[in-house]
Structure 1
Amino acid sequence: MKKSLTYFTAIVLLLSWFLFGSKKLSWFLKIQAEKSSEPCEFQTIFNFGDSNSDTGSMSAAFYPASLPYGETFFHEGAGRSSDGRLIIDFIAKHLGLPMLSAYINSIGTTYRHGANFAAGSSTIMRQNKNYFDGGSPFTLEIQIGQFIQFKSRTGKFFTKENESSFGKHFPKPEDFSKAIYTFDIGQNDMTDVISKMGKEDSHVLISNIVELFSKQVQSLYFFGAKTFWIHNTGPIGCLPLARPIHNAENNQTKVAGYLDQNGCVNLTNDLAKEFNKKLKDEVVKLRAQFLNASLIYVDMFSAKYELFSNANKSGFVDPSKICCGYHEDGYHVFCGSKQTINGTEIVPGSCEDPSKYISWDGVHYTEAANQWIANRIVDGSFSDPPLPISQSCQITH
């Protein structure tokens, strides 16, 4: 794995060569290698995002999730938009930590190893939509505000006198600066940009979204965050409900260049790529601004696109297929819902074997797909710089 050397390190190496010779230099390099390979030993995760990493916020705030959601792993509704675990659940497992409790879920929760502020339908920018129109009150700005309150209140009540009892359920004050701060948000913002095509300048909208994201990261930094693990947005043009086969209102299959070689919508994916490029550029700027912080940019787009491209080889069915829900003839009955169509009540159940599907409900991923993706990002294969998540606290700039 390639390691970036800081300017200071390069100067030290040069001086070591002239002053001490090759033996001392070899010793110095060995020490540096051992230092760079040390795991970070994270004890705490704080996550921010949308339904791709929501472990119960929207379910606690509005309608509780019910079967078939959660059927594979939890065997009950567990507040997740999947049949089982999400990528953030597998990240926590990889780091040897328990699954994160949603911040606003008051029943059966523990925050000793962090909290999850992600909420379904959330965006970076504020939206003029309520929950029933597909919106969420929990924008990234609100999620950051919730974190700041969480840190302030736990710090206020955490004392040496009550450490033995209070510390069982909440992070210690020193854990906040040693925690990893993970992000998976932007997909709903890009969906909103797509809906405004032809009405507003999409390039300006995307720039504004990225700028606001940067401001929220900076807020966290000023409140002590040092390690950031930032996912870009995935190939939303590959999601089944974005494809013409399930989208009668946008059936342009025969238009040249509308779809790519994998059946994904080019325009939608191109906008996601633009967002990702600007996001990566902003992460680079933040690294230059905060030299004592580690900011890891994770190319989720490429990881997920690889899955869509090699579905059959990876043991999955046609990636346009949906495990749970009814999407035919222009009608959409989503997983867990029911609707009467032409006099017939439609109550779609889940497929026989969700582990064979990439898409759970047309928008979200199955547990099997989430695990497949998580296994490929935690080792740093899709990260910039290429650090595994267990070493992501290492500062390489």
Structure 2
Amino acid sequence: MESHSSAILVVLALLVSLSPVSLAPASCDFPAIFNFGDSNSDTGGLSAVFGQARSPEGMTFFHAPAGRYCDGRLLIDFIAESLGLPFLSAYLDSVGSNFTHGANFATAGSTIRPQNTTLQQSGFSPISVNVQYNEFYDFRPRSQVARARGGVFAQLMPKAEDFSRALYTFDIGQNDLTAALFLNMSVAQVKAIVPDVLDQFKQVVKWVHSQGGRNFWIHNTGPVGCLPYVLDRLPVLVSEMDRYGCATPFNELAQLFNRGLKHAVVQLRKELHSSAITYVDVYKAKFNLISQPQKHGIEEPIKACCGHGGKYNFNIHLGCGGRKKVHGKETLVAKACKDPSVHVNWDGVHYSEASNKKIFDQIVDGSLSDPPVPLKMACHKHH
């Protein structure tokens, strides 16, 4: 009888040891993040090259301009914080940068497809994602040459093994849609170029993989039809507006892009067997704030916090922090609102820090991801 009960105990012990808790994969412990994208994740690239973001940018968190087009932190900042990593230095910023825990190649105004216009002509950057890849391709070996010099260089560069263990984040595509629309292309014409845009995106992910990247966290694009700068520049018929004040044709375009991006990720998983690739539905997280403002403590779902005039508090000629002569004196006219945290939108183009945090809180647990893995588990493959 005693041996029978001890056998039962052994079986029970085995069952306990095989419980889901002990089988759960460990957190990934990413040593670094390498980010590619546009202004939604630019921590100082455009500012370093084309002139620093001006006050009141950065007012909420940094209390001064910090290279970001936001009153405070971006989604990428919350991602870094949650992984226990410092904010990412922009690769293009040569002053005071520290690349020990990764680098940020994102630049405001960037697109996937290279632009045929200058920044001055269109507001879109020449630093498209293929250029960002070239920067990364250059950074990887050169960072190790610098690290080998020792001293301060060893403290400012990532370790060689960190490149294969790092998280590679992508948040780009919005500007491909808006740049085309601002060139007076119809929605149908823009839809026709989406497959080419996505082919170029897939190519860049493959290139990063060829350089050792294995863990990819890919954001889709947000509801562009809810952005003041789109609504102001491209007014649509009342019948084309949804009940939240967004332009339906442009949101449908973003959703078409996102379906294509999700399919591209599925194809990439088949081709890059050694990779963990997570597709993140940021569109849904952003649209939740606009469509359910009360739930999220929002008073202004569409109107910009920092701007000047008009229905959306947005003026293309007088952006956030803009000044003009009033009675012969330079006066700040495009000011920030009293409380950016009750606005979804910061400056007509970008989200407020409070919104970025609310978006992050919706995506960090993996509930809006495919596969539904939390951020800290994004190194585990789910094929």
Matches within 5 A, 1:356-375: 356-375=342-361
1:7 corresponds in structure 2 to none
CA contact (8 A) 1:193 1:206 kept: no
1:252 corresponds in structure 2 to 237
Matches within 5 A, 1:370-389: 370-389=356-375
Secondary structure, aligned partner of 1:281: helix
Task: State percent identity of aligned pairs.
Answer: 43
Matches within 5 A, 1:16-165: 26=15, 29-30=18-19, 34-133=22-121, 134-159=123-148, 162=149, 165=152
1:301 corresponds in structure 2 to 283
1:11 corresponds in structure 2 to none
Aligned length: 368
CA contact (8 A) 1:125 1:212 kept: yes
**Which amino acid in 1 is paired with 2:49?**
A
CA contact (8 A) 1:42 1:179 kept: yes
Secondary structure, aligned partner of 1:308: helix
The Cα shift of 1:202 comes to: 2.7
CA contact (8 A) 1:378 1:388 kept: yes
Q: Which of the numbers 191, 194, 207 marks the counterpart of 2:178?
A: 191
Post-superposition Cα deviations, 1:47-68, rounded to whole Å, max 9, x if no partner, equal: 0000000000010001112210
For normalisation by structure 2, the TM-score amounts to 0.90
Secondary structure, aligned partner of 2:277: strand
**Which amino acid in 2 is paired with 1:75?**
H
For normalisation by structure 1, the TM-score amounts to 0.87
Post-superposition Cα deviations, 1:258-304, rounded to whole Å, max 9, x if no partner, equal: 01221211100111011100110010011111111100000011110
2: CA distance between counterparts of 1:331 and 1:167?
46
1: CA distance between counterparts of 2:328 and 2:185?
36
With 142-151 and 330-339 compared, the bigger mean Cα shift is at 330-339
**Which amino acid in 1 is paired with 2:379?**
C
The Cα shift of 1:44 comes to: 0.3
2: CA distance between counterparts of 1:252 and 1:313?
29
2: CA distance between counterparts of 1:199 and 1:343?
44
1:210 corresponds in structure 2 to 198
The Cα shift of 1:173 comes to: 0.3
The Cα shift of 1:23 comes to: 7.5
Q: Which runs of 5+ in 2 are unaligned?
A: 1-10
2: CA distance between counterparts of 1:156 and 1:318?
50
CA contact (8 A) 2:236 2:247 kept: no
1: CA distance between counterparts of 2:277 and 2:367?
16
2: CA distance between counterparts of 1:337 and 1:69?
11
2:248 corresponds in structure 1 to 266
1:338 corresponds in structure 2 to 323
**Which amino acid in 1 is paired with 2:178?**
T
Q: Which runs of 5+ in 1 are unaligned?
A: 1-21
